[in-house]
Structure 1
Amino acid sequence: MGILKLKRPTFIHAIKSTILTTLLKNKHKKNSITLTHNTIYVLPSTLGVYFTIVALLNFVMGINYQNNLILFMAYLMFVIIIFALLLGYSNAKGLTVSFKNTIESYAPQPPQLVWQIKSNDTCQSITLSYPNNLEQDCYIESVKADTIQCQLPLPYLKRGRYLLKPIKIASNYPFGLVSVWSYIQPDHTVYVYPSIIKTPNQKQLSQMTANDDEGAEKHLGDDEFESLITHLPEMGLQRVSWKHYAKTQQLLVKQFSDFKSADTQFDFNLMTGDTEQRLGQLCYLVCQAFESDINYSMKLPNKSIENGSGKLHLQRCLQALSNVGADYE
C-alpha cells in the first residue's frame, strides 16, 4: 500500500509572494539601499525561539517551585534575547549595499552579480542570498570603514533572459539568536548566452577571413596608391606627381584607395543542427568576428540585427541570441 505524500499548499506560497511583493513595492526596489529603521526587520531566529521557550519554561518552573535561582536564570535569558535583538539591529543599521554590474555568462555557467558593500561602523556576519540558490550565498565576515566587493552567483544555467528577484541581506549576529534581514531588488535584466559551439560551416568562416582581393570593397582614401589621373583646376597641387611632370611636362595627380573588409552576415538558417546548436554556432561566429574586428550583421528567426562592430554590437547580438524562443523569468 502506497504512502500518501502531502504537498505544501500552493496558496501559502502565493500569500508569501503577495506579501513580499507588497513589502518591496517602494522601499526595496532600487539599485542601492542603506539599512535604516524602516528597512530593517528583526525577529528571533530558530535558535532564538528555542532559547525563548526555555526561558519561559524556567520562569514557569521558578514560579511553581518558588525557586529564586531558576527565576534569576529565566530573567537573565530574557535579558540576553532582548540584548541580542538590540545588538543585531545596531549591527545592520547604516550598512549600504549597492548593485554594481552583472558578469554575464555562457550556458551552462551561472551569471554573477557584483555588489559593493560599505558601512560607517563595523558590521559583522552579512550574507547576501538569492531565492532558490542553495549553498551559493555571498558571505562577508566583517565590513569595516572600507568599501568591499563581493560576487553573488545566480541559479540560472539555461540560456535566456531573467529579471532579478529580491536579494535578501541577512545577519544572525550576535550569538545566532536573532535574524536581522532586509531586501534589495535592482531593476536589471540578466542574460545567459548560448553555449559556444564551434561551427562546421566553412562558408561562414571563409567570409570572415576573406582577403583584400576577394572580399574587400574599395573606397577613395589615403591608404594605398592606385593610379594617376589628369590634373583638374579644382584639385589643387597637393597630390601632383612632380616626378612625372619633370619627365612629361604634364600635370598628373596621384589617386589613392583604401580597402575595407567585406561585411559578413550570419544567418540562423545556414547553421546546422537543432535550435540550441545553431544558436551556439552563431555565438561562436559573432565572438570570432568581434576578436577579428570584422563588421557583421545577423539574421535570426525573430529579428535581424544590422551591420556593426565593437563590444556594444557584440553584446546586442549575444542578447538577441539569448532571447530566441527563451522563456523569460
Structure 2
Amino acid sequence: MTRPSSSATPPPSRFATLRGYYRRWLDKRLPPARQWQLRHHQLFILPTRLGLLYLALVLALFLLGTNYQNNLILALAFLLASLFVTVVGHCYRNLAGLRLTLLPTAAGFVGEVSRLALRLESDRPRYALQIRCADATGEELASSLDSGTLGVLFQPRRRGWLTPGRLHLGSDYPLGLLHCWTSLAADSRWLIYPRPLAWTPVLHPGPGEPAAGTDDGLATDTAPAQGRAAQASPESELAGLQPYRPGEPLSRVAWKQLAQGRGWHSKAFAGAPEQGRWLRWQMTPGQHTEERLGYLTHAVLQLEQRGTAYGLELGGQHLAPGCGDAHREQALTRLALYVG
C-alpha cells in the first residue's frame, strides 16, 4: 500500500471553502460598480454583541416571569422584545435608499496617504455611518442631512496599481443593538508612484547621441551656466524667434515679446550645441531597483519644477524629451509600472 507524499498540498479547510462560496455569492449579488442606490437585496442586518446580550436578557425575563407567573415581569419582557423589533425597522431604514457615488482618486506615492471617497446623497437625514476596508483606515460620519462624503485612507507600501477590496458601509443606529451593512465592490484603481528619494538630477545624451563636448553626465544645476556660455559663443548667436513648443525650457522663452502681447515665442540660436536631455536607467545610482526608481522619480519632479525638458530611458522604453503635466504623468506612470 502506497502512502501519500508528505509534500502534497493539504486540502482546503471547510472554513476556506465556505468563505470562497460566500465571496462568489457576494460577487454575483453585489458586482463591481461606481454608483449604487441601496435596496433590500443589498443590505444585511444582524444583532451586535450588545444586541445578543439584550436578547438574552429578554429571554431570561420571560422565563423568570413564566416560572413565577409574574405578569409585571412578563410585560417588561414583551415591552423590551417589541422595542427590539422596532429597532430593526429603524436600523434598516437608516441605510435603505441611500445613493452612493465613487469619487475619482488621484494617484499618489508610496508611503503617502491616499483617500478613496464616496459621495453620499439622500432625501432624509442619516446617522452614525461607518465605512472600512481591509488594509485601510475607515472614517465615520455622525450625521448627514442631504449629502456628504465618506472615505477610507490607504498608506500603500508598494508601487503600481492599487485596487481596494470591498468597502464595508454600515451603521449601528439607533441603539447599537443591530448592525445594518452592505459590502460594495468599488470599480476603481489608481496608480501609486515610487517614493521620491533625494538626488541631484543628471541629464545625459540620449542613446546613440554624442556628448557634444561634455562629459557622459550633465548635471542640471550647471545647465543654465552652460546655456549662457553657449549663447555667448560665436557658434550660438541668436538666429531669431520661433513659435513656442510645449516642453521647451523656460530660459528660451522670449519674455519681452510676451510682455508686449505678441504671444509665446522661443529664441532660436544658430549652431547651438546639443546638450544631454535624458534621464537614463543605466546612469542612475542605487543598489536595487526600488532605490533607482526613487531617484528617477525625484528627478522627474525636480526637472518639472524647474521647467527643464527631459527624456526618460528606462530599460527598453524611451520617452521623448518634453515637459509639462502630461509629460510628467507619462514619466511617473512608466516608473510606477516598471518591471525590472
Considering the TM-score relative to the shorter chain, is it more than 0.5? yes
Stretches of structure 1 lacking an aligned partner (at least 5 in a row): 1-8, 225-255
SS of 2:45's partner is strand
Structure 2 residue corresponding to 1:282, chosen from 290, 296, 302: 296
1:12–1:40: structure 2 CA closer, same or farther, 3 Å change rule? same
Stretches of structure 2 lacking an aligned partner (at least 5 in a row): 1-11, 203-216, 245-265
Q: Does the CA contact (< 8 Å) of 1:32 and 1:184 recur in 2?
A: no
1:62–1:155: structure 2 CA closer, same or farther, 3 Å change rule? farther
Q: Distance in 2 between matches of 1:41 and 1:219?
A: 74
TM-score using structure 1 length: 0.75
Q: Does the CA contact (< 8 Å) of 2:201 and 2:303 recur in 1?
A: no
SS of 1:278's partner is helix
- TM-superposed CA distance for 1:48, in Å, is 1.0
Q: Percent identity?
A: 20
2:277 pairs with 1:264: yes
TM-score using structure 2 length: 0.73
Q: Distance in 2 between matches of 1:286 and 1:266?
A: 9
2:336 pairs with 1:319: no
Q: Does the CA contact (< 8 Å) of 1:208 and 1:264 recur in 2?
A: no
- TM-superposed CA distance for 1:46, in Å, is 1.8
Q: Does the CA contact (< 8 Å) of 2:98 and 2:120 recur in 1?
A: yes
Match of 1:184 in 2: 184
Q: Distance in 2 between matches of 1:119 and 1:99?
A: 15
Q: Distance in 2 between matches of 1:111 and 1:58?
A: 50
Match of 1:174 in 2: 174
Matches within 5 A, 1:144-163: 144-145=145-146, 147-163=147-163
Q: Does the CA contact (< 8 Å) of 1:207 and 1:264 recur in 2?
A: no
- TM-superposed CA distance for 1:222, in Å, is 4.0
SS of 2:112's partner is coil
* Greater alpha carbon shift after TM alignment, 86-95 vs 54-63: 54-63
Q: Distance in 2 between matches of 1:13 and 1:264?
A: 54
Q: Distance in 2 between matches of 1:315 and 1:58?
A: 66
- TM-superposed CA distance for 1:89, in Å, is 0.7
Q: Does the CA contact (< 8 Å) of 1:111 and 1:192 recur in 2?
A: no
Per-residue CA deviations over 1:118-175 (Å, capped at 9, x if unaligned) read 2110000111111133xx2111111112x22344202523333222211111111011
AA aligned opposite 2:291: Q
AA aligned opposite 2:143: S
Q: Distance in 2 between matches of 1:303 and 1:10?
A: 45
- TM-superposed CA distance for 1:286, in Å, is 1.1
Structure 1 residue corresponding to 2:99, chosen from 88, 96, 100: 96
Q: Distance in 1 between matches of 2:239 and 2:221?
A: 19
Match of 1:199 in 2: 199
Q: Distance in 2 between matches of 1:66 and 1:219?
A: 109
- TM-superposed CA distance for 1:213, in Å, is 6.3
Match of 1:80 in 2: 83
Q: Distance in 2 between matches of 1:46 and 1:296?
A: 60
Q: Does the CA contact (< 8 Å) of 1:157 and 1:192 recur in 2?
A: no
AA aligned opposite 1:271: T
Matches within 5 A, 1:219-234: 221-222=241-242
Aligned length: 284
- TM-superposed CA distance for 1:270, in Å, is 1.1
Per-residue CA deviations over 1:10-43 (Å, capped at 9, x if unaligned) read 6524532541343133534111211122211112
Match of 2:306 in 1: 292
Matches within 5 A, 1:207-226: 209=223, 211=227, 214=230, 221-222=241-242
Per-residue CA deviations over 1:277-297 (Å, capped at 9, x if unaligned) read 111110011112222333333
